[in-house]
Structure 1
Amino acid sequence: MKILVIDPKIAGISGDMLLASLIDLTGSFDVVEQLEDEINKLENCKRFKVEVKDEDVGISAKKLEIEIDESRLKHPKGLKKAVNSVVKNLDLSQKAVNVVNRVVDDLINVEAKLHKTNFHLHEIASLDTIFDVVGSVMVLDKNNFLEADIYSTPPVLGNGYIEMEHGKIACPAPATLEILSKHRFKYSNLPVNMELTTPTGVALLVNIVSSIVDFFPPMTPVKVGYGTGTKKVDGLINVLRVVEGEEFRAVSDKIVILETNVDDVSGEIIGYTINKLLNEGAVDVFVTQAIGKKNRPVNVISVITDYKNYERMVELLMNETGTIGVRIYELPRLVAERVKKKIEVEIQGKKYQVTIKISKVGRKIVNVKPEYEDLKRIAEDLRMPLRVVSKIVEEAIKD
């Protein structure tokens, strides 16, 4: 099973350091070009140019050099619109899109909480925030890390004072601390007179990581990547380290199942709740019909989620359905390692790219399945029944 370890206990984490380290790890330079092209199409962008360079900071690391000429975004709707405009033209999975939206929402919500009546976007208003967030998630998605276990060591925050739009304040930055508090995410520190972990870096970290660890988990290391930022820190190698590893097992970390019975909630509310839970990061949601107290028909809503998110899912479930109780089960689960690859399929003289998901336990392939969204796209384009398209693609996979 694939593992990714992010190691911000060395020198913290920022959005550009995470993206640079992932590029160094995976060699996904094409992500930079695609994303640069999409950002240059935005109305408020006059020029956006990115160069990935090798930098020797004691260790050879990748560094992003960005040239920006822009009109800064001032309102949350403008930032969300810009992010959606960029994302819709990229080949991202729905899971990746959801992660991007959660990161952006965290950054916007923390600005709203800190500035209240005088609220407008501050440090997150630049196009490089969009580049760092979407780019990092895109590399993770492209290399199947969003389907893997992602670990992080506690990020070091730094000390001293930082310059904000309204003046100086002691580290950590208020937005960084708010995001860590919201997600109950453990941090560490070093006696360095500088900000080491930024709001964008920590917003990405809390939304992609499965587990926080003080030490690297047992694994077979495969590749290592290093990314550096623009700051120079005396006596400290200013890098973010990411490590890809393999763990040959079929048991993942424990998962949480939430369950509640509702007998007075309409189908529309249940449907809306299911979609909202999935968009907020639930692994799966399903509804079972049953007979409850006084022989009344009830719907049992079950939510599968990871441990990190279960409290937020409980709150969402109670708010949306009005239920006054949620049962919580913590269980181990068996999972197969899953990787994705693209194949070309020709149907009625037209060629299509189809993503197939390959599930393995150890070195044994246990299932191969085409991506539903790709089959749907082909069926709609050719006006063919989905089952016919599915059969043709499955035959191509066998070949």
Structure 2
Amino acid sequence: MKLLVIDAAAGGIEGTLLAASLADLLGGTAPLDPLVSAIAAHPDAGPFACSAESARVSGIATTCLRIDAGAPASAPVDGIGAAAREIAGAAGCSGAVTDLSDTVFSDLAAVAQVYALPPGYWTETVFSVLAPLLLLEAGGFLGGRIVGTPPAVPAVPAGTPPFSGPSPDILWLLSKRSVPFSSPENRPVAGSAAGIALFCRLAEEVVPRVPPLTPAGAGYGSGSGPDPAVLRVVTGERYAFIEDHVVLLETNLDDLPGEEIGYAMERLFAAGAVDVFLTPGIGKKNRPVQVLTVITSPADAHRLVALLMEETGTLGVRIRDTPRLVAEREKETLMMTFFGRTFPVRVKTSRAGGVVIGKKPEYEDLRNAAIELGVPLRKVRRLAQAQLQDAKADAGGRQAW
């Protein structure tokens, strides 16, 4: 599957900066010409022009978009979101671009009800949202998968409350979409409410680093000024599997009854653990021990450590952040017939590189059907697998399972 990575962890994210990096990747700004004309022609806009320049920043060849905007004639009568929709129509933007633009300006309108946005020409804001969307569509990225690294955010400007992190408007936007950010020091960082709102809507997932892929190209956009921020976008084909990170919690148990260990495992599963299992081992003084391992997400790790210590009385828990590669998985409910009766059965489908590598019916659903029918579970499972194989044959697709 085609993948685009917005690598915002180094230089931050701003709409025009994203457009510059995409223009660098695609080799030009031709898709933006109708947009620039539509902005300049809007009755409430002033003079507006855009040009692309090559710039070398820290030895990296980048593209910089220069915006030449005069003061708008007036503020849009119906608001900037409505003006953006008018301009999108005049520029011939697709429904996908217009709809995404609407959601971004809706987010900006919401944050403006809580915090004052930095001043600026509304025409530049419209360009900073629509321009990257047009280039994403031109490159075929809106139909693929877009991920991002945690965007770097600039420090709060001088003269405002002395916060150490992002400005209140940017923090509000990040919190509404649960997007993590980074706060780099001693390097230029770009950031704007429009850029953050756009990033939050585009990135399907925020990953700690550029994920494994077969690269097909990269684009570098730079801002203006003597020490500009740089944004990188990378495109390519992703690995057949998805890169993921889990946390492993592990402790040795040598003096706990089996019933209490089982109860602790039940509680850990109920609290959201991905998996819990026991491994027999030999501990100090050759005592038999049970190594209890919990696999969990980073967000749940500390909560499950507390639960693990509470239930087992262990004095310490080993913690490891572990990368893993997993297949794509999705669940659907199918109607299956067993011995003349129909039951809903949840089925988990696993894919690697778009190829189905496995289909597994949910144990609980098969168990319930077996109990209700009064037949062995193994017979119900075999019937379910046969029906899944029949469905595979009917589909006639490229499936490996």
Query: TM-score, structure 1 length as denominator?
Result: 0.57
Separation in structure 2 between the aligned mates of residue 227 and residue 57 of structure 1, nearest angstrom? 10
Alpha-carbon spacing, 1:191–1:85, altered in 2? closer, same or farther (3 Å): same
Q: Distance in 2 between matches of 1:192 and 1:330?
A: 51
**Within 1, Cα distance between the matches of 2:349 and 2:76?**
43
SS at 1:46 equivalent: coil
Which of residues 231, 238, 241 in structure 2 aligns to 1:240? 231
Distance (whole Å) between structure 1 residues aligned to residue 351 and residue 120 of structure 2: 40
Indicate conservation of the 8 Å contact 1:87/1:134, yes or no: yes
What's the offset of the Cα at 1:172?
1.5
Q: Is the counterpart of residue 140 in structure 1 residue 131 in structure 2?
A: no
**What's the counterpart of residue 22 of structure 2?**
22
Aligned-partner Cα distance in 2 for 1:251–1:56: 34
Post-superposition Cα deviations, 1:23-48, rounded to whole Å, max 9, x if no partner, equal: 00112411221111110111122310
Instruction: Give the deviation of 1:49 after TM superposition.
Output: 1.0
Q: What is the SS of the residue equivalent to 2:47?
A: strand
What secondary structure does 1:147 align onto? coil
Match of 1:190 among 179, 184, 189: 184
Query: How far apart are the structure 2 equivalents of 1:107 and 1:72?
Result: 22
Give me the whole-angstrom Cα distance separating, in 1, the residues matched to 2:32 and 2:109.
24
1:222 aligns to what?
Answer: 216
- Paired amino acid for 1:155: P
Matches within 5 A, 1:156-195: 156-159=152-155, 161-162=157-158, 170=163, 171-192=165-186
Please give the residue correspondences for 1:298-317 in structure 2 after superposition, counting only pairs within 5 Å: none
Partner Cα separation in structure 2 for residue 72 and residue 168 of structure 1: 32
Check whether the contact 2:188–2:229 (CA below 8 A) recurs between aligned residues: no
Checking the alignment, whether the CA contact within 8 Å between 2:154 and 2:190 is kept in structure 1 is yes
2:13 is matched with: 13
Give how far 1:98 is off.
Answer: 1.4
2:145 to 146, 149, 155: 149
Q: Name the SS of the counterpart of 1:70 in structure 2.
A: coil
> Where does the alignment leave 5 or more consecutive residues of structure 2 unmatched?
245-345, 355-396
Aligned counterparts of 1:77 and 1:330: Cα–Cα separation in 2: 49
Aligned equivalents of 1:20, 1:330: Cα separation in 2: 44
Q: Which residue of 1 aligns with 2:122?
A: 126
CA contact (8 A) 2:53 2:66 kept: yes
Instruction: Call closer, same or farther: CA 1:250–1:127 in 2, change over 3 Å.
Output: same
* Aligned counterparts of 2:138 and 2:352: Cα–Cα separation in 1: 20
- Summarize the alignment of residues 383-398 of structure 1 with structure 2, pairs less than 5 Å apart: none
Q: CA separation in 2, counterparts of 1:158 and 1:99?
A: 25
Match of 1:110 in 2: 111
> Does the 8 Å contact 1:22/1:136 carry over to 2?
yes
| 1:249 CA drift (Å) | 4.2
What displacement does 1:14 show? 1.1
Q: What TM-score do you get using the length of structure 2 for normalisation? A: 0.57
The residue that corresponds to 1:88 in the other structure is 89
Cα displacement (A) at 1:161 = 2.5
Are the counterparts in 1 of residues 49 and 69 from structure 2 also a CA contact under 8 Å? yes
1:174 shift after superposition: 1.6
Aligned-CA RMSD value: 3.1
Residue 124 of structure 1 deviates from its aligned partner by 5.6
| Contact persistence 1:159–1:194 (CA under 8 A) | no
Structure 2 letter corresponding to 1:7: D
- The 1-side partners of 2:94 and 2:239 are apart by 26
Q: Count how many residue pairs are aligned between Structure 1 and Structure 2.
A: 253
Whether the aligned pair in 2 keeps the contact of 1:160 and 1:192 (CA below 8 Å) is no
SS at match of 2:64: strand
The alpha-carbon deviation at position 250 of structure 1 amounts to 9.4
1:201 aligns to 2:178 (yes or no): no
Q: Distance in 2 between matches of 1:331 and 1:215?
A: 28
With over 3 angstroms needed to count, the CA separation of the structure-2 counterparts of 1:122 and 1:161, relative to structure 1, is closer
Distance 2:138 2:74 in 1: 28
CA distance in 2, matches of 1:330, 1:53: 53
Q: Counterpart of 1:238 in structure 2: which amino acid?
A: A
2:206 to 205, 212, 221: 212
Identity of aligned residues (%): 27
Aligned 1:341-380 pairs, distance under 5 A: none
Cα distance change on mapping 1:65 and 1:169 into 2, 3 Å: farther
Q: What do the CA deviations read for 1:240-269 (whole angstroms, capped 9, x no partner)? A: 00001113649999xxxxxxxxxxxxxxxx
**Counterpart of 1:4?**
4
Question: In the alignment, what sits opposite 1:45?
Answer: 45
What's the counterpart of residue 350 of structure 1?
none
Q: Deviations over 1:150-185 (max 9, x none)?
A: 11110111335256xxx5664522211110011110
Alpha-carbon distance between aligned partners in 2 of 1:176 and 1:153, rounded to the nearest angstrom: 16
Instruction: Return closer, same or farther for 1:70/1:332 CA change in 2, 3 Å cut-off.
Output: farther
CA drift of 1:190 comes to: 1.1
- Partners of 1:331 and 1:147 lie apart in 2 by 24
Partner of 2:31: 31
